[in-house]
Structure 1
Amino acid sequence: MTTALALLMQGNDRLATAAQAEMVLADEVCLRHAGCLWHGVTILLRTGEFESVDAHLWKLESRRDDGLADLVALMRAEHAQYVGDLMGAREALERLATTASPPTVRELAVPCYLEVLVAANEPDIGDQVLRDHDFGRLMRRQALRPFLLAVRGYLHLAAGRADEALKDALECSRLPVTEVAAHFTVAHRRGLLALAAAAAGRPDIAGPAAAREYEAATAWRSHSHIAWALYVLEMVEGEGRPSDRLRDAIDLMELGRSPVGLAALCFEQGRRFLEAGQEQAGRALLLRADGAARRIGDKALSGKIENLLCALTSPAPQASLTAQELKIAELAQNGYTNKQIAERLVLTVRTIEFHLSNVYRKLGISGRRALANEVLPPPQS
């Protein structure tokens, strides 16, 4: 696992890092060692190998090893968070942060729980978790300290405490992060520094940090990381108008299969379109953000979107699909390929493509990836 961690820290060969972690997890010795398991799974999550992580966790869960049960539950909760099941992750981590055994798993569960609360836009509950779990004592764990600082920094930022966020981000940026390098929050610490510095009125820090985040993301070649880095650059350097950066970030976040990131990006770009007076484009993006927010259980973001939509003066255009278009769209949402849909409905592939093109046009979306998050309208009567 040392080799996999070293590759991760170099940050320029995502595929080789994933392959190394897979090789280690295939070793029976690793499957009996808690530290090896945790590092292997978190590295695979960091490389975006979500299906592989799911398969490894199913195998571990089927072994029913009581000594590793809570560690496996922690890794399952982390997986749930990154694929967008914030509600499931939150429920599991709330328990693990209080009762997990051994204590090292419980200590890891606390910052993971805070990560989920920040992602779900619930900083008030996060502040209570800081008080309930003696964060000061956890901070004395040097190996965990970068992770704890990064998570608390994001919590401060979400709560509007820019100066406190900047303080944590600066300290985190100075620490070695070998043991916790796989965590997304730690990996994005340059972005945290950039956003916190911008919020605190320190452009001298924000600009270089945003540039370093983008350099790291392009070296790692992860769609979701590049999307995040583009968002950071835009928030630091942009002028508050609808931007090509955010448009590209949305497309990349779709490819990275991150509904949490997609909800945030669509909301930001949609809000900007509304402020620019482009209601139709803004409404479409906000509805897209709302679909993602509801899927992940982010009630706070759904509430913000509802307030923005209710304030619009023009009525929403009513998209309507034919019965055939609706049936094809539903099959596409369920993962069927055009060829499989054609075979199922006894139609040609060209006909399926024609109907899907009409669906995309009517819903105002770009393609099949965007369709996955759409709430389909009823068919034409």
Structure 2
Amino acid sequence: MLAARGALHMAMGQFQHAVDDYTACGRTLAALNVVNSTVIPWRSRAAFGALAVQRYDLALALAEDELIAARKWGSARGVGAALHAVAIARRGESSVPLLEEAVQLLDLGQARTELMQALYDLGTLQVERKDVAGGRSRLEAAGAVARECGNAYWAERVRLGLARLSGPDNGRTLTRQEIKIAQLARAGYSNQRIAETLFLAVRTVEFHLSSVYRKLAISGRRELATALGSVAA
């Protein structure tokens, strides 16, 4: 139940609540002496939530602990999912090779949901590193897996990601104010709290967020964590 609620919080952009739920899930599993990380990979899921609220050290620690635990059991799916989390948490020179290995293992383990997410992040990261052709290829592969699984949300997310590659760069440039507001929204702040933090009217926050979504070709807060990084950088 805690893992399911954590997933719901992630989908709703309530990332700190997701981290709290996944951490509580981990404590419950430990109390029940469940040590196989593939039963519920709570650490890697919590790591993505921690990244969204900019708790980078926590995210990396969780992801690396998950990888150690997953390698003890040797499941292709478990190791692949953990490698995905480690790659995103590190965001360094090793991230692309780690994601490529994650994709191979997730494909081998027939973990279709995890595979399309890893492909999406790999494609997005390759685009950030100026490998647009490689990134496009990975995004297209992610879209194919999403359609194969009948996952409309991820199919649309990939479509929007590909659309961003075709759009004019100057039309996607965010202003400093838009970046500040988008970063707070990504961290789980409500429009009211963003307004109070930046001393703005709520309607001004709403206006800027609408502009951010349009420029990034995304549908809402759930996609900010991925889309914001490449454009703001």
TM-score by length of 2: 0.63
Aligned length: 199
Q: 2:83 aligns with which of 130, 146, 149?
A: 149
For 2:132 and 2:210, the matched residues in 1 are separated by 37
Answering whether residue 119 of structure 2 is matched by residue 187 of structure 1, we say no
Residue equivalent to 1:165:
95
Supply the AA of the counterpart residue of 2:68: G
1:166 Cα deviation from its structure 2 partner: 0.6
CA distance in 2, matches of 1:168, 1:232: 21
Give the direction of change, closer, same or farther, for the CA distance of 1:142–1:241 in structure 2 (3 Å limit): farther
The answer on whether the counterparts of 1:77 and 1:88 sit within 8 Å (CA) in structure 2 is yes
Task: Identify the residue that residue 109 of structure 2 maps to in structure 1.
Answer: 177
CA distance in 1, matches of 2:124, 2:136: 9
CA 1:192/1:200 → structure 2, altered by over 3 Å: closer, same or farther? same
- In 2 relative to 1, CA 108–134 (structure 1 residues): closer, same or farther, beyond 3 Å? closer
- Tell me: CA distance 1:219–1:138, structure 2 relative to 1, closer, same or farther (3 Å): closer
Cα pair 1:188 1:213 within 8 Å, conserved? yes
Q: Which has the higher contact order (CA 8 A, sep 6+)?
A: 2
Q: CA deviation at 1:170?
A: 0.9
Matched to 2:49, the amino acid is: V
Distance 1:155 1:225 in 2: 21
Q: Which amino acid aligns with 2:11?
A: Y
- What is the rounded CA distance, in whole Å, between the counterparts of 1:182 and 1:223 in structure 2? 12
**CA positional deviation for 1:231:** 4.4
Paired AA for residue 214 in structure 1: G
CA contact (8 A) 1:149 1:168 kept: yes
Pair 1:182–1:197, CA change in 2 (3 A):
closer
Q: Which residue of 2 aligns with 1:224?
A: 153
CA distance in 1, matches of 2:149, 2:63: 32
Pairing 1:122–2:55 present:
yes
- Residues 120/222 of structure 1: CA separation in 2 closer, same or farther (3 Å cut): farther
1:274 deviates by: 2.8
Tell me, yes or no, if the aligned pair for 1:214 and 1:229 is still in contact at 8 Å.
Answer: yes
1:136 match: 68
For 1:181, the aligned partner's letter is R
Cα distance in 2 for residues equivalent to 1:148 and 1:108: 8
Residue 32 (structure 2) pairs with residue 103 (structure 1): no
Specify the alignment match of 1:94 in structure 2.
Answer: 23
The normalised TM-score by structure 1 is 0.42
* CA displacement, residues 164-193 of structure 1 (integer Å, 9 cap, x when unaligned): 111111112222233x4344xx33222122
CA distance in 1, matches of 2:80, 2:88: 12
Corresponding residue SS for 1:95 = helix
Pair member with larger Rg: 1
Q: Is the 8 A contact 1:196 1:206 kept in 2?
A: yes
- Computed over aligned residues only, the root mean square deviation of the Cα atoms, in angstroms, reads 4.1
> What is the percent sequence identity of the aligned residues?
9
Alpha-carbon contact 1:169-1:196 (below 8 Å) kept: no
CA pair 207-290 structure 1, distance change in 2 beyond 3 A: closer
218-227 vs 92-101, which moves further: 218-227
CA distance in 1, matches of 2:118, 2:19: 22
Aligned equivalents of 2:88, 2:184: Cα separation in 1: 24
Shift of 1:201: 4.2
The answer for the alignment partner of 2:4 in structure 1 is 75
* Unmatched tracts of structure 1, length 5 or more: 1-71, 243-268, 276-281, 311-315, 321-359, 371-381
Query: C-alpha distance in 1, partners of 2:5/2:201?
Result: 41
What is the distance in 1 between the residues matched to 2:74 and 2:167? Answer: 37
C-alpha distance in 2, partners of 1:364/1:116? 23
Measured against aligned partners, the alpha-carbon deviations of 1:260-283 in whole angstroms (never above 9, x if no partner) come to xxxxxxxxx5xx2538xxxxxx85
- The separation in 2 between residues aligned to 1:137 and 1:88, in whole angstroms, is 24
